[in-house]
């Protein structure tokens, strides 16, 4: 479903001035985020609980000022980055966050959080690979 609007619920959140350890990439879209001191930060804990998926890019210089606000998809369908390494999901797979803010196939390990279910892929009928953008229906739950 490339280019289609899937909006159900987005909300703006202030961005931590040291987002992702002050990465020179700033805020990268379609990565999983968490709360940190009432602001958002990249979720880098494998299987960690998240609040949603950031929807926009924000330059690191703007982030460093401490007053950037990013749109976060809290519910519905979102594009999300497949982790650069790890188990690649397929259509229908449950996914959880990896250590780079991307997603991998949910491990099934008790106490970890799933983000949702894969409902679309970059190329219809193709194979999902590390680094791809996929469509995920956000349905967080604890395994």
Q: How many other CB atoms are found less than 10 A from the CB of residue 67? A: 10
pLDDT-derived band at 1, boundaries 50, 70, 90 = very low
Strands (E), the chain: 7-14, 32-36, 39-42, 52-54, 69-81, 94-97, 103-105, 113-120, 133-142
pLDDT at position 2: 42
Residues 91-133: tens digit of each pLDDT: 999 999 999 999 999 999 999 999 999 999 877 778 899 999 9
Higher pLDDT, 37 or 2: 37
Residues 45-74: tens digit of each pLDDT: 999 999 999 999 999 999 999 999 999 999
pTM score above 0.85:
yes
């Amino acid at each position: 479903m490339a280019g289609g609007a899937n909006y159900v619920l987005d909300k703006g959140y202030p961005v931590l001035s040291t987002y992702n350890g002050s990465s020179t990439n700033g805020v990268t879209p379609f990565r999983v985020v968490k709360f940190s001191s009432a602001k958002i930060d990249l979720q880098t804990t494998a299987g960690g609980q998240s609040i949603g998926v950031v929807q926009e890019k924000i330059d690191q210089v703007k982030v460093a000022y401490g007053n950037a606000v990013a749109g976060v998809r809290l519910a519905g369908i979102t594009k999300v980055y497949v982790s650069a390494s790890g188990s690649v999901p397929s259509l229908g797979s449950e996914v959880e966050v990896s250590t780079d803010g991307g997603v991998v196939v949910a491990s099934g390990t008790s106490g970890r959080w799933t983000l949702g279910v894969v409902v679309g892929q970059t190329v219809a009928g193709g194979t999902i690979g590390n680094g791809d953008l996929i469509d995920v229906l956000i349905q967080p739950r604890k395994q």
